[in-house]
Each structure stands twice: as structure tokens, then as C-alpha cells.
Chains A and B, each alone.
Chain A
Amino acid sequence: MTARAVEGWTLEPLTAFVQEAGARLVLLMTPAGQVLAQSGFTRAVDVMSAAALGAAIFASTTEIARQLGEPPFAGLAHQGERHGIFLAAVSTERGPVVALAVYDLEVTSLGLVQLFFEQLATDLKSASPKGGEAKQVLAADFERELSDSLNTLFGR
């Protein structure tokens, strides 16, 4: 399975996580939905959809937590008949990174994904370059940034 990264420092932790946890699809992104790295996706349109939906879910649950007077939830899991979804965030030197993992229940389990997510969080923290958060994409640059990211992620 090929992993590709827009931000190079995320690649090694992502690759290790995919191998250890047995996740089918993984997306690393900012809470705003900017994609940092992906593994397992074959079409750009799927990455765009997953990033948008993942960011929306993350924003919704963060707001629910805020209204409950809680810090943001540590993780979110959905289990279907054949696949499960795990969404969680980690703080890095470059700002928060949201991880979205889709896993096949025949291959791995929520327990394993959660277990190796802890390692991913540690690896991302130590790999993230010092020196401030990643720049936020402005609306005016959004399409170009998105296009550049997708070109990088799919090797165009």
C-alpha cells in the first residue's frame, strides 16, 4: 500500500501506523481539512470527500464537547458490518493533526487501531518540525493549494 505526503515529516509515522494497525485507508489532515498525507486512496476525489467529511465530523464533535464544557474528545469510532472508522486528533509542533482511519474488521480491530494510534501520535509529535504551526490556506488560494496537494498525493 502506497502512502504519500504533502508534508514529508508525516510519511514515516503514517507508514508505520498503516503497517502495524492494518488500516485500509488513512488520511492525515488539519482540522480545517487540509490534507497532509494519505495511504490507500486511489482517487483524488475520494481524498477530497474524506477530508471534507472528516473535518466536518471533527468540528461537530469538538463543538459538542465545548458545549458540554469538556475538552475535545480524544477519539471517535464507528463500526459497521465490514468496516470501522476511527477519527482522532494529535497535537504537534505544526498544530493539531487529525487522523482518519478506515479499517477492515476481517483484518484488524478497533483495539489495534487505537493502540497503534497512540504510537502514531507519539511519532508525529517527535517528527513534527519545530517553528510554528502550518500556514492556513486562505480562501483565495484554496483551489491552487488543493490542486497542488492532490498532485503530490497522487504523484502527478
Chain B
Amino acid sequence: MTASVYESALSRITGVRGVRGAMMVSLSDGLVVAEQLMEGIKGAAVAALAASLANRLGRAMEGGGVGRGVFWHLQAERGALLAVPARAGLLVVAVAEPGVNAGLVRLELLRAAESVS
């Protein structure tokens, strides 16, 4: 897997109108693997907290007997966090504006997850 694969996967996500940044995060340690973020977004903080959240949500979903999570969308007052787990132990994360087309972002996140698996 080369860095350009990550870069092109992230570029497709950040190409969606309203997306302020995208990143590949290592799920096990919450560290940034690759990122394309607008200024002002704290990549390390988003990575650590999103991975922690994804791990806990994953455990809750397994505990609830609903299987592995495939897409998370957290809507906040001033934006949204969208994430898709990829097979290689990665989490693909997008930080977006509140009015973003979540369906389109989801599609690009799933494509990105597929491309790095």
C-alpha cells in the first residue's frame, strides 16, 4: 500500500462539497495514517477520539448482537463526523459542515475503505 493510494482515496472524499477534511486513522492506536484537513481541524485529536468512539461503538454493537458497524454519522450543531471502518484496521473519517450531503460522503467513505482493504 503506497501513500498515493491513501491520498487519492482521501481526495475523493474531500472533493465532496461541504467536507472540511478526511483522514485514515489506525483503529487500534488512534493515530493518523493519512490526512487532508482544512486549517483549524486538530487532526490528532479527531483521530484519537474517533478511533476510541468507533472501538466502543463497535463493542456495543457486537454486544447488542447487531454485528459489525459499517457506517457512523454523528451530527453536531456546527458540523458532522462520518466514519467507516476499513478492513486493514483503519477507520476512514470525514469532518463535514452541517448541511453536507451525507449520502454522498458515505459513498465516498465506503469507496475509500474498499480501496485500502
Contacts and interface: CB of A to CB of B under 8 A. Distances in A.
B29 A115 contact: no
Nearest to A111: B30
Contacts, number: 36
B110 interface: no
B45 interface: yes
A105 interface: yes
Interface residues of B, number: 14
Majority secondary structure, B binding face? helix
> In the complex, which range does the number of interface residues on chain A fall in?
10 to 19
Interface string B48-67: 11011001000000000000
B51 A115 contact: no
Interface of B: 25-26, 28-31, 44-45, 47-49, 51-52, 55
21 contacts: A79-B29, A84-B29, A105-B28, A109-B28, A109-B30, A109-B51, A109-B55, A110-B29, A111-B25, A111-B26, A111-B29, A111-B44, A111-B47, A111-B48, A111-B51, A112-B30, A112-B48, A114-B31, A114-B44, A115-B30, A115-B48
